[in-house]
Structure 1
C-alpha cells in the first residue's frame, strides 16, 4: 500500500510538473503566471513585514485573508487548477485514499502553494522574535498550515460542484459568490464600518479561533512556555487536515462513480413556428441548466451587493446603479452562449433558415430573465436613495439592456470559446476546460463593451436631462436589432466552421489567426509583454479605488478615509494626489493598449507558429 501510494503520488506530481512546463511555452500564459506570482510575492512580503513588526493581531488577520483566498480563488478561476482531473483515473484500480493522496501531492506542486509557503514564513519570523522553542514549533506549523490551505481549497471546490448539481444549492452558491466578489471591490465600506466601531480586537480574536490562526497560536504559546497548548494547536491542525482529506476523498468517490440518468421532459414543445420553437428551447435552457440559473442569480445578486455595501458608511449614492451593475455582469456571464451549447449547435445548424430565429430567441430569453428584475431593482433603489437621478437611471438601464442583448450574441458568434459539452461536464461544473482563461478574458472585455453602449445616451442625459430617455431607448433598440442581425449573418456564412471549432477546439492547424497574433506578440521583448499585461490587469487599482471613489467622497463630504491614500494627506494635497492616481491608472491602460497596438502592426514571421498544443502534456510525464 505504501509503495502504491508513493508511486501514484510521484506519477501525478510529474504529470503536474509536465503540464506546468507545457504552460511555460505559451507566452500569454507565462505573462499571467508571472504577474500573479509577482503580486502574490509582494503580498507575501507584506505579510512577513507585518510579522517582523511584532503586530501579531494584524498578522493573524492577514493569515485569515490568505485562507479566504484559497477558498474563494478557485471559484473565480475556472474551478481551480484541475489539469490532472480525477476522471482520468476512473478505470484504474486505485483505492480512493491513494488517488486522493496523489491528487493532493500534485496540487502542492504549483506556483500558488510556493507563494503561500513564502507568506507562511511569517510564522517563523514571529517565532524567532519570541524564543528558540517557538521557532522550532513554527516549522511544523508552517507545513501543516499550508497543507490545510490546499485541502480546504480542494474541499471547497468539491462542495461547490456538489451544490451546483441541485437547484437550491446553485442559487445558494451564486449568492455566496456574489457577496465575496462584491466584497473584493466594495469591502472597504464594511471595513470602514468595522474600524469606526472599534472592533479590531474582536477581528483578531475571531481570526485566532479560525483554523488559519492555529499555527500562530501554537507559536505564541511556545513563546510563553505553554507547550501543552502549543502541541494541542498543532494536533488540531493534524486532525483538521485528516478530516478534510477524508471528506474530499468521499466527494471524489461520488464524483467519479455517480451515474447521471436522463430527465423525462415535463412538457413537450408545441410551438407552431420557427421563432416559437427557438424561443421555447432557449427558455428551457435557462430554466433547466443549473449553470445558467447560477450565473443569472450571481449577476443580479452581485449588482445588489456591489451597490448596497457602501450603505455601511452611510453612502447611498450607488443604490440607483444596482440594476445597471447587474446587467453589465449578466452580459459578461453570458458572452459565450454558443460556446456553452458546444456540439449541440449542430442540430440547429442543420435546420435551413434557423440562424435569425435562434439568435433572436437568445436575445429575448436574456431580456426576459434580466429585464423585469433589473427594472424593479432600479426603480425601488432609486426611490429608496432619495437622489434626483431618475433621468439618468431611466436612460442608462434600457441602453445597457439593449446593448447587452446585442453584444452577447455577437461575442458568442465572433469570439466563441470552446468549452466542455453539457453532457460531458465533469464532477466539477466550475471547470470550463483548457480554455477557461480565454473565457474569463472574454468576460472582462464584455464588461467594458457593455458599459460603453450606454455612453452616448448617458452624455445626453447629463446635459439634457429627460431627453436622454428616448435616446437610451433608441440606442437599446438599435443595439439589439443590429447585433442580432450581424450575428445571424455570421452564422449563415460561418456556421460549419463554428461547429468545427466547438467540437475540436483550436488546434495548431485550425487557428491561423491566433497563431499569427501569437507570432506578433513573440516579436516584442518579453519585458514589454509582461509589463503590458500587468498594466492592463491592474490599472483599475489606482484609477477607481484611489482616484474616482475618493473624489466622490470629497464631493459628497463623506468623512470615511479607509484605505484611500489621498484622504490621509493634508487637504491641499488631496486633489493633486487624486489627479495623479487617475493619471497613473489611465497611463497604465494607455501603455498596455499601445503595446498591443504595436504588436498588431507587426508582420508575423512565417516560421513562428504556436506549437504549445502539439503534444499532449500528460504524455510528457512518461
Structure 2
C-alpha cells in the first residue's frame, strides 16, 4: 500500500505537467536545483570535520532548523500538496495504520525530501570520527529525517480543521510573516556575529537546543566519536523515542480525522450591506466594480492580505539591515532604496490578476464584448492597488523622514517611490497575461502557490519584471539622487506622472493582449494546478 501512495503522488505530479511545456521545463529545472542543493549540502556538511570546535554546534543548529522548517512550512502552505489533507481519504476503505504508512512513504518521495536526507547524511559524515560514530551518525540522520516527516504530518493533521477555516488563514498569515521576519533578523545577526567570536556565538544558541530531540540526535554522533558510548546510546534512544511518540500521536489523530465530521468550512451566513460599495467617482461603472472586487478581496482574502503585510515588513527589514537601527545612518540613498523596494512589492500586486480570479474568469470573459471592457477591468485592479499602495508609500517615506530628520528629502523619496511603483505595476499587468497561473481554490491559505513545476517559471518571470522595473525607473531615481533638494516638488510631480504613464501604457498593452487571447487564458487557468 505504501508503494500505491508513492505511485499516486508521482501520477498526480505527472498529470499536472501533461500538456504544458512551461510546467515541464520548470519542474525539470526544479529537479536539477534540488539535486544540486542535495549534493552541495552533502559536501558542505561533510566538511564540518574541518572545524572540530564548531562542528557539534553547527550539527545541532542544522538538525533543529530542518525539523522546525518541516513542521512550520506545511502549516504556511497548507492546501498546496494534496497529500497533506488526510480527510480526502475518508471515503476510501483504508485502515488508519495503512493510511499512515502510505502518507509517510508519499512524504518521503520527491526531490526535496531526498535533498534533505543527503544533507543529514553529510552531517553524519562530518561529525563522525570512527566506525561506531559512523553507524550512530547514519542512525541519527535517519532519526532526524523521521522527525521531519512525522512531526510535519502530526502537526498538520492536528490543525487541519483550523487551517481550512478563515481564522486558520489569519493564523497561517501571522506564522508566515513571523517565520520570514525571524529568518531575516537571524541572517542579520549571523552576519554581525561573524566579526566576533563565532564559536561562542554558536554555542550560545546550540547548547539549549542540544536538549531538543533533533539536537540530541546530532549530539549522539559526537558523543560516540569522543568515546562515550553510553551517553551516545541514551541521546539516540531519546530521539528515537520522540519519533515513536509522534508517530503514535499522528496515528491517533489520523484515525479520528477519518471518522469525524468537519464543519470548519461551513458558511456562517452573510450580512447585508457588508463590504465595499461599487460607486467610485470619476471612473466607469465597470472599472469601479473591478476596483471594489479587489478591495473586498484585499480585506477578506488571506492571500491578498499576506502580500500587503509583506510590503510593510520588507520595508522595515531593509531599513534595519541597511542602517543597523541607527537613525543617523538613514540618508537619501537609504530612503530611496527602502521606498523603491516597498514600491516594487506594491506594484507587483498587479501580477497574476487573471489567475487570482480563478475559475470565475469565464464569467468575466462572457461579459466582455469590447476591448475597452478588458482595459476597464485591468484599470479597476490598478485603481484598487493605488488606493491601498499610495498611502503605504507615503507612510514609509514620512516615517523615514521623521526618524532621520531629513524632511527636505521627503518629496524626492516619494517621487522615487511613485515612479518605481507605477513601473512595477505596468510590468506586472503584462506578466498577468504572459505568465498566468491558477491558485488553489482554498483561499484560507495565505501563502498557497502553484505546484507541478510552475514555481521556477514564475520565478524567472518575476526576475525579468524586477530587472525591467529597475531599468525603466532609473531616470527618476537618478534625478532624485543627483539633483538638489530644492527641486523636490518638481521631482515629486515628475515621478508621479512618469509612474502613472508607464502604468497606463502597461494597462493598454495588457488589455489588448488579454482581449486577443481570452480562450488561451481560460484554457491555461482551467488546467489543474
Aligned 8 A contact 1:170 1:291 in 2:
no
**Partner SS, residue 91 of structure 1:** coil
Instruction: Show the 5 A alignment for 1:1-400.
Output: 8-16=1-9, 26-51=24-49, 53-54=51-52, 55-67=55-67, 70=70, 86=86, 89-122=89-122, 124-125=124-125, 128-129=128-129, 132-154=131-153, 162=163, 165-166=166-167, 168-180=170-182, 182-183=184-185, 186=188, 188-189=190-191, 191-192=193-194, 199-223=201-225, 226-245=228-247, 250=253, 258-259=262-263, 260-262=265-267, 264-268=269-273, 271=278, 273-312=285-324, 316=330, 318=334, 321-332=337-348, 334-352=350-368, 354-386=373-405, 390=410, 392-400=412-420
Are residue 484 (structure 1) and residue 483 (structure 2) matched?
no
1:460–1:426 CA distance, 2 compared to 1 (3 A)? closer
Aligned counterpart, 2:282: none
Q: CA deviation at 1:420?
A: 3.2
Measure, in 2, the Cα distance between the counterparts of 1:165 and 1:325: 30
Q: CA deviation at 1:153?
A: 4.5
Instruction: Show the 5 A alignment for 1:407-556.
Output: 407-422=427-442, 430-434=448-452, 436-437=454-455, 438-465=457-484, 466=487, 467-504=490-527
Q: CA deviation at 1:82?
A: 5.1
1:279–1:178 CA distance, 2 compared to 1 (3 A)? same
TM-score (norm. length: structure 2): 0.79
TM-score (norm. length: structure 1): 0.68
1:328–1:340 CA distance, 2 compared to 1 (3 A)? same
Measure, in 1, the Cα distance between the counterparts of 2:389 and 2:36: 39
1:335–1:191 CA distance, 2 compared to 1 (3 A)? farther
**Partner SS, residue 266 of structure 2:** coil
Aligned 8 A contact 2:278 2:288 in 1:
yes
Q: CA deviation at 1:366?
A: 1.1
Measure, in 2, the Cα distance between the counterparts of 1:65 and 1:175: 17
Aligned 8 A contact 2:343 2:420 in 1:
yes
1:341–1:271 CA distance, 2 compared to 1 (3 A)? closer
**Partner SS, residue 169 of structure 1:** helix
Measure, in 1, the Cα distance between the counterparts of 2:318 and 2:250: 32
Aligned 8 A contact 1:79 1:430 in 2:
yes
Aligned counterpart, 1:545: none
Aligned 8 A contact 1:457 1:469 in 2:
no
My pick for the range that moved more, 428-437 or 112-121, is 428-437
Q: Which has the higher contact order (CA 8 A, sep 6+)?
A: 2
Measure, in 2, the Cα distance between the counterparts of 1:217 and 1:189: 25
Superposition CA RMSD, Å: 3.9
**Superposed CA offset, 1:194-231 (max 9, x none):** 75895332123134234332112223334556555433
Aligned 8 A contact 1:123 1:215 in 2:
no
Measure, in 2, the Cα distance between the counterparts of 1:246 and 1:448: 50
Measure, in 2, the Cα distance between the counterparts of 1:449 and 1:76: 30
**Superposed CA offset, 1:542-575 (max 9, x none):** xxxxxxxxxxxxxxxxxxxxxxxxxxxxxxxxxx
Aligned 8 A contact 2:346 2:421 in 1:
no
**Partner SS, residue 210 of structure 2:** helix
**Superposed CA offset, 1:478-527 (max 9, x none):** 02222223333334333344233322469xxxxxxxxxxxxxxxxxxxxx
Q: CA deviation at 1:91?
A: 2.5
Runs of 5+ unmatched residues, structure 2: 280-284
Aligned 8 A contact 1:151 1:241 in 2:
yes
Aligned 8 A contact 1:144 1:238 in 2:
yes
Runs of 5+ unmatched residues, structure 1: 1-7, 507-622
Q: CA deviation at 1:339?
A: 0.3
Q: CA deviation at 1:345?
A: 1.9
Measure, in 2, the Cα distance between the counterparts of 1:163 and 1:296: 21
**Partner SS, residue 29 of structure 2:** helix
